[in-house]
Amino acid sequence: MSAIICSVDVVLLTLEGGQLQVALLEREHEPFCGALALPGGFIHPDEDRDTEGAAVRVLRDKTGIVSPYLEQLGTFSGPGRDPRGWSLAVAYYALVPHAVIAASGRSEVVLRPASEVRGLPFDHSEIVRMALERVQSKSSYSSLPVYLCGESFTLPELQAVYEVVLGEPINKVSFRRKMEELGLLEPIEGKMSAGKAHRPAQLYRLRAKFRQKLALTDRGLNPG
C-alpha cells in the first residue's frame, strides 16, 4: 500500500473590478513549476493541529493573510489529480476584502476572475468552481458576503457586493428588510461622505458577536 499525498488548498476570494477574484500563486516546485495555482501545501503533522490549522498556516505563509472567514469546502482525491501519485487535498475557501490582499504586500499574489479561471494544475479549476458555487449558494440565505467588505460599509455598498456574488440585481427595500431582520449589523455613528456628490449613507459594521470568528461549523454564521 503506497502512501497517500496529503495536502490542503485554499481558495482565497476577494472582490475587485466588480467581480469575484481568486488569488493564485506561481508554483515554485515541480510538478507544474511556474504555473499559476491555488495556494496549497502539505499537511505537517508535527505542526498542524488539524487540516484547518494547515490551511491557516499555508495561507499565512504563502500570502501573508489570516482570513477571518475560512471554511472547509471538501476533499478531493484520486490517483490522477497529482502526477506524483494517489493524493488527497482538503480544500478550504476564504473571503477577504481586497484591501487585505493589497496590505499583505505580497506582489506574488495574482488575482484572476474566479468565474473565468481555466486550466489550473491538479484539479484546482474544479475546486475554484465548487468554491464559487458554495459561496453563491450560501450567500442567498446568509451574511457571507459581509466578509468581502471592509470593517465598515454602507448598505448600498453591501447590496452591490451581494449583487456581484449572486449575479443578479436585488430589490433595495427587500434587501434592507432582510438585513434588518438578520440583525447582524449595527450602525456606526459616523457617516459616509468622502467626496461623493450626494446624500451620505449610514455606515454599518458586523456586530461584535459575529466578528473575528472562524467558521466553526458548516452553518457557522447563519442565524436562523
Partner DNA sequence: CGACTTAGTTGCTAAGTGCAACTAATAAAA
Partner DNA sequence: TTTTATTAGTTGCACTTAGCAACTAAGTCG
> By the criterion CB under 7 A, which residues form the site for DNA?
154-156, 171-174, 176-178, 191, 193, 195-202
Cα separation, 113 vs 157, in Å, equals: 20
Binding its own copies by CB under 8 A: which of 26, 34, 61, 75? 75
The reply to whether 51 sits near its own copies by the rule CB under 8 A is yes
Strands (E), the chain: 5-16, 19-26, 36-37, 40-42, 69-78, 87-95, 110-113, 152-154, 185-191, 202-206
In angstroms, give the least distance from the CB of 162 to DNA. Answer: 12
The reply to whether 171 sits near its own copies by the rule CB under 8 A is no
CB-count exposure of residue 147 (10 Å: 0-12, 13-18, 19+): buried
The reply to whether 219 sits near its own copies by the rule CB under 8 A is yes
* Binders of its own copies in range 88-117 (CB under 8 A): 88, 90
The reply to whether 83 sits near its own copies by the rule CB under 8 A is no
- Please answer whether residues 23 and 39 qualify as being in contact, where contact means their C-beta atoms are separated by less than 8 angstroms: yes
The reply to whether 43 sits near its own copies by the rule CB under 8 A is yes
| Residue number, 68 or 156, with CB nearest to DNA | 156
- Please answer whether residues 60 and 81 qualify as being in contact, where contact means their C-beta atoms are separated by less than 8 angstroms: no
- Please answer whether residues 58 and 40 qualify as being in contact, where contact means their C-beta atoms are separated by less than 8 angstroms: yes
The site for its own copies (CB under 8 A) is made up of 1-4, 6, 42-46, 49-51, 72, 74-79, 85-86, 88, 90, 130, 133-134, 137, 217-219
